[in-house]
Amino acid sequence: MTAFFPVPADLDPADRAAAAPAPGQRLPGHGRDCYGCGPDAPHGLHLELFAGDGVAVTARMRVRPRFEGGPGTIHGGVLASAFDEVMGHVPTMCGRFCVTGHLQVDFAAPVPLGVDLYLRATALGVQRRKVFTEAHAWIVEPGPDGIAVEPGASGIPVAAAHGLFVQIDPASHYGAVAAGRRSGAQKS
């Protein structure tokens, strides 16, 4: 899979925050109505997110019929949203809250409806407020006993992504959005 994503040569390492959840621990998500991770979003992805080792984050996702793009296959934008969500949680493992500045996806193979996807995202490094991330997605294959096994990093990924996430102060960032709405500056 070829990717064209400029990564600065002088990145600082992304350090795991002392308070980061232990590897394997389910992450709570950040909003019940979030399109990516919210359990109450009726049309959402319903991603299940877990802390990985280091600053990694993993996720499971069922490719539901409503995610169709081409006949019988996932819509590319849906997969991009899943990558956005799982990579967006990586900065939290470093104790930072970020929004997406840049998102890039490479699609390597069609993903049929009905399968489960396993995603893994990690940080390439940080530079000032910027967190550079990469992620891969694999189809979860049934094991010999019929129980699904997570492919980890061993199988061939069906897609890969890179992201640039920019650290923000949630109160001022979302406060400014809300203030704009109240003044009528951002109607529909």
Ligand X SMILES: CCCCCCCCCCCCCCCC(=O)SCCNC(=O)CCNC(=O)[C@H](O)C(C)(C)COP(=O)(O)OP(=O)(O)OC[C@H]1O[C@@H](n2cnc3c(N)ncnc32)[C@H](O)[C@@H]1OP(=O)(O)O
Using CB under 6 A, list all residues that contact ligand X. Answer: 30, 36, 84-85, 88-89, 92, 97, 99-102, 128-130, 164, 166, 168, 170
Shortest Å, Cβ 148 to ligand X = 25
Shortest Å, Cβ 143 to ligand X = 31
Closest CB to ligand X among 73 and 104?
Answer: 104
Closest CB to ligand X among 1 and 127?
Answer: 127
Shortest Å, Cβ 136 to ligand X = 17
Closest CB to ligand X among 73 and 167?
Answer: 167
Please identify which residue in the block is written with the tokens 């621990």: 25
Closest CB to ligand X among 161 and 164?
Answer: 164
